[in-house]
Amino acid sequence: MNMITSSSLVFSLLFCLMVSMLLLPLPSNGADPDPLQDFCVADLNASTSVNGFPCKPVSKTTSDDFFFDGLSKEGNTSNPFGANLTAGNVLAFPGLNTLGISMNRVDFAPGGINPPHSHPRASESGVVIEGKLLVGFVTTNNVFYSKVLSAGQMFVIPRGLVHFQLNVGEGKALAFTAFNSQLPGAVVLPLTLFASMPSIPDQVLTKALQVDKDVINTIRSKFGF
């Protein structure tokens, strides 16, 4: 595949992803409330606290507020999970404030994993750009759905369900994900259970996971605790 054809494929995939993202926040079940003005660029330094962010004065709004290049750079996957998530949410891209959408870039080293996690405030759609990923999620009835996806294939994760992506290809992998929330949040199970501050009591974890305290301490040590 030549460079022009490859670039066209990437742009086509991202266009499909953006369309699916825009279709997710329907008025009846949108994750974020509908905006009441054309735009509301977030003032991240405001002293007031609301469910979202106050608007930056229109007089101080510039073209740069509506453009973001943070997803163009490959992430550093030198970590225990072998994956790196670059967030394109309202905290990184204030122009998304009140619009109910955001995107992430996820880079995977060979064998890397975006570990089991959930998004409490959004459904997720994604597209594989490079490599091969095993994508799976578990329902509230403990039913597991999964499939191995290659470049050009999409997936959807219903709001709040635990899910993951694992690189099962021979090389690196890349995916872009989209959400119907400006700040979907993430509950990453390994970090939630074993790296919280303060720590979840040992007696809770040993009872819940049916293991000895030594096992809990061994897992905690993997995260620097």
Contacts of 215 (CB under 8 A, 6+ apart): 206, 209
Per the CB < 8 A criterion, the answer to whether 88 and 178 are in contact is no
Alpha carbon separation from 63 to 28, 56, 129, 183 (Å, rounded): 32, 13, 28, 22
2 is in an annotated binding site: no
Check the annotation: does 124 bind a ligand: yes
- Provide the token pair at 45: 């330094």
**Does the annotation list 89 as a binding residue?**
no
Q: Which residue has the tokens 């997710």?
A: 24
Phi first, then psi, for residue 117 (nearest 5°) are: -160, 175
To the question of whether residue 74 is assigned a binding role by annotation, the answer is no
Burial status of residue 178 (CB atoms within 10 A of its CB: 0-12, 13-18, 19 or more): buried
To the question of whether residue 163 is assigned a binding role by annotation, the answer is: yes
Residue 114 in marked binding region: yes
**Single-letter code of the amino acid located at 107:** D
Judged by phi (left if over 0) then psi (alpha if -120 to 50, else beta), residue 153 lies in: beta
Q: Extract the annotated binding site for Mn(2+).
A: 117, 119, 124, 163
Q: Extract the annotated binding site for oxalate.
A: 104, 114, 119, 124
Q: Extract the annotated binding site.
A: 104, 114, 117, 119, 124, 163
